[in-house]
Amino acid sequence: MTRDGDQSPAVGIGEMLISSRSLDEYRAMFTLSEDDLSRKILDCPGGAAGFTSAVNHLGGDVTACDMAYFDSDAEQLAGIAERETVRGNRYIRAHSEQYDWTFFADPDEHLHLRRGAAEEFAADITRNPHRYVAGRLPALPFPDASFDLVLSSHLLFSYSDRLDAAFHLDAITELMRVARDELRIFPLVDSGPGAPYPHLDSLLADLGDRGIAGEVVEVEYRFQRGAHHMLVCHHIVRPAARTIVGGTP
């Protein structure tokens, strides 16, 4: 099964990680400005990231959506966030050559900062459960154009060993359905050795056929080697057909 987030072990980290990135990582991965952070945002998959909590505490309006929120309550998710932080850090220590130690100084700092984000998530999902909505791509429980900006990190492209090309196309189409303006996806490489997504050109062509323009943009965030780009998607605005008054042109 390859269509909807199958959890079978594969290369790289193995079973899909429920990770906990911080607001600072999101800012760097997605080149988020203060103006971006004031928009109505969907983070999908939200995982156990601290982003939603941190931005909402600053007065923002972020909703997280993830299929992990179906099966576990807030207390269970807090435990999962801690265990997954340790599992992710163990992988990074064992494969430190796959990482550029710029954003994080070393694996100890990685553990410390990710644990902080996991704790922020755990506290917030208890206090503000309405901000964490269970959903499973490629079908999200939101009306069309519900959000100004949609962010999607470390699912699409990261797990292309188990999520096929049709899933990528349908998931991006769905994320764009709920986006009024823009979708940003990071990174464009797989979660193990950092191989670039091999079907990007045909994906961009298929998205174009669905009225979605995608542009690859370099970002400043440096952690996983090769993961330096995001995909920015917009709706293609087709000019309205001209009405010729008084006859044929």
Ligand X SMILES: C[S@@+](CC[C@H](N)C(=O)[O-])C[C@H]1O[C@@H](n2cnc3c(N)ncnc32)[C@H](O)[C@@H]1O
Q: Which residues bind ligand X (CB under 6 A)?
A: 4-5, 16-21, 45, 47, 49, 66-68, 135-137, 153-155
Contact between 171 and 205 (Cβ < 8 Å)? no
Nearer to ligand X, 186 or 212 (CB): 186
Give min distance, CB of 245 to ligand X, in A.
Answer: 50
Interaxial angle between packed helices 200-209 and 165-177, expressed in degrees from 0 to 180 and rounded to the nearest 10: 40
CA 105 to the chain's CA centroid = 24
The four Cα atoms 164, 197, 132, 4 give a dihedral, to 10 degrees, of 10
Give min distance, CB of 198 to ligand X, in A.
Answer: 20
Place of tokens 């265990």: 83
Nearer to ligand X, 46 or 236 (CB): 46
Nearer to ligand X, 170 or 242 (CB): 170
Nearer to ligand X, 12 or 214 (CB): 12
Determine the Cα–Cα distance for residues 191 and 183; give it in Å rounded to an integer. Answer: 20
Nearer to ligand X, 79 or 242 (CB): 79
Contact between 235 and 207 (Cβ < 8 Å)? no
Give min distance, CB of 144 to ligand X, in A.
Answer: 18
Give min distance, CB of 183 to ligand X, in A.
Answer: 13
Contact between 12 and 145 (Cβ < 8 Å)? no
Give min distance, CB of 60 to ligand X, in A.
Answer: 16
Nearer to ligand X, 67 or 195 (CB): 67
The secondary structure of 28-82 as a DSSP string is HHHT--HHHHTSEEEESS-TT-SHHHHHHHTT-EEEEEETHHHH--HHHHHHHHH
Give min distance, CB of 212 to ligand X, in A.
Answer: 19
